[in-house]
Amino acid sequence: MTCLNAEKLSLVSLLRNCAKSKELDEGARLHAHVLKQGLLGKCCAISSSLINMYAKCGALVKARDILHEIPIRDVFSWTALLTGYVDHGASEGAIACFEEMQIDGIHPNAVTFTCILKAYGNLGAVSQGEKIHDEIVRQGLLSDNVSLGTALVSMYTKCGVLMKARQVLDGLHVRNVITWNVLIGGYAQQGQIKEVLKCFNEMQDEGISPDKVTFIFALKSCAAVGAVNDGERIHNDVIKLGILWNNADLGNALLDMYAKCGAFEKANRILEELSFQDVVSWNALITGYIQQNQGYNALKCFESMQLKGISPNEVTFICILKVCGSIRAIEKGKAIHDEIVRQKLLMNNITLGSAVIDMYGKCGDLVRAQEVLNGLPARDVVCWNALIAGCTQEGQVEQVLSYFCCMQDEGCSPNATTFTCVLKACSRKGYIEKGEEIHKEIVRKELLTDNVVLGTALVQFYVKHGALVKARSVLEKLPVCDIVSWNALLTGYVQQGFGEEALNCLEKMQQKGFHPNEITWSCILKACGQTGALDKGEQLHDEIARQGTLERSTVVTNCLVDMYAKCGALEKAFRLLEELAIGNVLSWSALIAGYAQQGRGKEALICFEVMQQRGFSPDSITFSIILNACTHSGLIEEGQTLFDLMRAKFGIEAELEHFLCMIKLFGHAGQFEKIVKLIERMPCSANFAVWSALLDACKVWGDVRVGKWAFEHALQLDRIDGTAYTCTTI
């Protein structure tokens, strides 16, 4: 800098100011002055400052031209241009510049390496980045240069090589909060939440305080996995540092964490305490309610937000439209649609248009959904998928197929989501041939290569049509599948009564490395119950217990009780319910049904009492089962008492099924007067099953008068079989 006089120093300073404020016109004026004074190329500092100014202002061609005009190019000139390329997202240009610089015989410095590492990171060019890493180590530049070390960590992080990024960070002699943030951000982006929290703790252990960025990464990670306890600890750290109430981004991250973890009381408290509430704050709370399936609270939040004077943005509208669709709040959805139209937001926003179509589709208003689609200035596959999904939900198969053709006629190619919806629609009876055509098209487009959802939909399509051999063939040929795909086939076997095949399918699934989940266990236990495979059921019981599934899944417990009951192992079923605190009215009802099927009415009644002692109130289904047990065992008084208690004690109105049980019970005892009174007080018309049961009793006891009365009513139902006619010959 000794060659710089006052005028030259002033020019360098002015050019730096122009670069900082991006005042290109003023910089060009200074450039003209430099040329007029003949200073370009004679003063390296001025030349480098001029290149830097143009590069920072985005005039990269001009910066490059100047670099090539000057007779002496040093590392500062080249680095100024290289930095410009990187700052403006022209990473390929930066790499070309770096290579040209080396051809020119200029050796990079630490700043140059920092810039080129950023370029390689942006492009995911890890092999080139590793070569730079080796050169940096060879030159010993990492010893005390935290910026260069951070750039290396960043390069590996952007390339997804987090293990290497961690190794670099661990080997740095000096590192700061930015270095840690880069690594933490990489872990967060790849969903490695444990590593995020581990780094968060380690940096503090070595005396580096987290900043706003660190806290935001950590809070987002907690939100992603519902780690509310870790989130609360981080919240306490934020409070200790006193950096929350003047920082909207951090406040919103805290609010978002609590909302996504379902801690809405705390989320609302954060919202109230924020010094600055914006639409992002409210969107975080609304999104949290939606994720926790609290649609009505999301709507209340939306209304409160507007009362506070906060205008909804595109994200808000999309969220609320989703809520309206999920709870079928069509009037609210229409009002939102009207507001969107009033603000003219659909003119250039396909995403919002798709959300409106989806809302109407989920609410069953397919006419309006189509009107919105037709009114959009541009339509993409997402819009069409929303309409097709709505038609699929409503069972409008012909409409689905019509729109499927229309979208292609418009030049819009269906994607995996489209085909998934169409297959679901074709799962209805009578559309197997069309579904097979769709299958061929999916194969032709090679969409099954990496799409598990579509593959599963294909398996489910064949299962729904009862084509289980084809479903299994499809599953075994899928390039990618998951436990859901296997469960689809298992469910089909069980629903169609092929218990043995289901058990074989489970074995094949496990051989392929898939671990059963709750749905798998539920299906396979039903298969054991169907086939009476008690030994296999006991083996599965042990395996389920080892996984700890029984302690957390009422559904699996119910299926296990049901399996033992259907296999006749009622004592085991009873012990299981006694040992586990997770049972419910369904599991107890399954056990009572088991006793009923074996004609052990007295024990069924005992079980019924124990169930209530355990705090479970019988429901309508339980009463059907216990009344049926009384019928099979001839427990007339007990059955009559239970029937009377249904309404008197439990507030359950008797339904047709309960009356039918009582008619059969009284019929076995020949108590026809009670039967006639029962039928006369029934709240609904007796069906054929009722009259048939009465006719059966009349035949047994030879009651011609009541038999003829029952026959006349059965005749009116126009569903006469041999039973009715037989009774007339009594």
CA dihedral 15, 20, 24, 26 (to 10 degrees): -50
What tokens appear for 334 in the block? Answer: 């229409």
pLDDT of residue 718: 57
Q: What is the 3-state secondary structure (H, E, C) of 379-407?
A: CCHHHHHHHHHHHHHCCCHHHHHHHHHHH
Is 659 inside a domain boundary? yes
Three-state secondary-structure class, residue 108: coil
Question: Residues 464, 467, 472, 474: is their CA dihedral positive or negative?
Answer: negative
Give residues with Cβ within 8 angstroms of 80, minimum separation 6: 48, 49, 51, 52, 55, 63
Please answer whether residues 663 and 693 qualify as being in contact, where contact means their C-beta atoms are separated by less than 8 angstroms. yes
Please report, for residues 79, 323, 573, 577, the alpha-carbon distance to residue 559 in angstroms, rounded to integers and kept in the order given. 69, 33, 10, 12
Cα 698 from Cα 355, distance rounded (Å): 62
User: Is the pLDDT assigned to residue 3 strictly greater than 80?
Assistant: no
pLDDT of residue 719: 52
Give one DSSP letter per residue of 166-181, joined into a string: HHHHHH-S---HHHHH
Q: What is the DSSP letter of 107?
A: P
Is 9 inside a domain boundary? no
The answer to whether the pTM exceeds 0.85 is: no
Does one domain contain both 676 and 722? yes
pLDDT digits (tens, 9 = 90+) for 360-379: 999 999 999 999 999 999 99
pLDDT of residue 570: 93
Q: What is the 3-state secondary structure (H, E, C) of 547-565?
A: HCCCCCCHHHHHHHHHHHH
Out of 645, 672, 690, pick the residue that ends a domain.
645
Q: What is the mean pLDDT of residues 200-212?
A: 94
Does one domain contain both 629 and 682? no
Out of 592, 612, 645, pick the residue that ends a domain.
645
Does one domain contain both 637 and 662? no
Is 703 inside a domain boundary? yes
Angle at 453 between CA 450 and CA 454, to 5 degrees: 75
With residues binned 3-state (H G I as helix, E B as strand, rest as coil), the percentages for the chain, rounded to 5, are 75, 0, 25
Does one domain contain both 623 and 665? no
Q: What is the mean pLDDT of residues 473-485?
A: 95
Please report, for residues 214, 216, 228, 708, the alpha-carbon distance to residue 234 in angstroms, rounded to integers and kept in the order given. 10, 10, 10, 80
Is 674 inside a domain boundary? yes
Please answer whether residues 370 and 399 qualify as being in contact, where contact means their C-beta atoms are separated by less than 8 angstroms. no
Does one domain contain both 602 and 627? yes
Does one domain contain both 637 and 663? no
Token look-up 């048939």 returns 692
Q: What is the DSSP letter of 173?
A: S
pLDDT of residue 720: 47
Mean pLDDT of the residues in the chain = 92
Please answer whether residues 490 and 463 qualify as being in contact, where contact means their C-beta atoms are separated by less than 8 angstroms. no
Is 660 inside a domain boundary? yes
In what helix (H) or strand (E) does residue 44 lie, and over which residues does it extend? helix 44-56
Residue 583 pLDDT level (bands cut at 50, 70, 90): confident
pLDDT of residue 144: 84
Residue 1 pLDDT level (bands cut at 50, 70, 90): very low
Q: What is the mean pLDDT of residues 512-522?
A: 94
Give residues with Cβ within 8 angstroms of 149, minimum separation 6: 142, 168, 169, 172, 174, 175, 179
Does one domain contain both 659 and 726? yes
Does one domain contain both 619 and 641? yes
* E strands in 146-256: none
Does one domain contain both 634 and 660? no
Q: How many domains would you assign to the chain?
A: 2
pLDDT of residue 10: 87
Give me the helix-helix angle, 350-362 and 330-342, nearest 10°.
Answer: 160
Amino acid identity of 254? L
Please answer whether residues 611 and 588 qualify as being in contact, where contact means their C-beta atoms are separated by less than 8 angstroms. yes
User: Is the pLDDT assigned to residue 306 strictly greater than 60?
Assistant: yes
Amino acid identity of 12? V
Is 671 inside a domain boundary? yes
pLDDT of residue 91: 94
pLDDT digits (tens, 9 = 90+) for 222-266: 999 899 999 999 999 999 888 887 788 999 999 999 999 999 999
Cα 238 from Cα 147, distance rounded (Å): 26
253 closest CA partner among 301, 216, 214, 292: 216
pLDDT of residue 476: 94
Does one domain contain both 673 and 690? yes
Please answer whether residues 505 and 486 qualify as being in contact, where contact means their C-beta atoms are separated by less than 8 angstroms. yes
Please answer whether residues 210 and 247 qualify as being in contact, where contact means their C-beta atoms are separated by less than 8 angstroms. no
pLDDT digits (tens, 9 = 90+) for 283-305: 999 999 999 999 999 999 999 99
Cα 683 from Cα 410, distance rounded (Å): 56
pLDDT of residue 725: 55
Question: Residues 580, 582, 585, 591: is their CA dihedral positive or negative?
Answer: negative
Give one DSSP letter per residue of 278-291, joined into a string: -HHHHHHHHHHHHH
User: Is the pLDDT assigned to residue 489 strictly greater than 70?
Assistant: yes
Cα 289 from Cα 296, distance rounded (Å): 8
Q: What is the mean pLDDT of residues 75-79?
A: 92
Please answer whether residues 203 and 191 qualify as being in contact, where contact means their C-beta atoms are separated by less than 8 angstroms. no
pLDDT of residue 510: 94
Domain that holds residue 666: 654-730
Share of the chain above pLDDT 90, in %: 79
Helices (H), 426-511: 432-444, 452-464, 468-477, 483-495, 499-511
pLDDT of residue 559: 94
Please answer whether residues 630 and 642 qualify as being in contact, where contact means their C-beta atoms are separated by less than 8 angstroms. yes
Does one domain contain both 675 and 605? no
Is 295 inside a domain boundary? no
Q: What is the DSSP letter of 684?
A: S
pLDDT of residue 276: 84
Question: Residues 657, 663, 666, 668: is their CA dihedral positive or negative?
Answer: negative
Tally of CB atoms within 10 A around 174:
12
pLDDT digits (tens, 9 = 90+) for 669-725: 899 989 999 998 888 888 888 999 999 999 888 888 888 998 888 887 755 455 455
Is 636 inside a domain boundary? yes
Does one domain contain both 659 and 631? no
What tokens appear for 544 in the block? Answer: 């389920």
Cα 145 from Cα 80, distance rounded (Å): 19
pLDDT digits (tens, 9 = 90+) for 413-459: 999 999 999 999 999 999 999 999 999 999 999 999 989 999 999 99
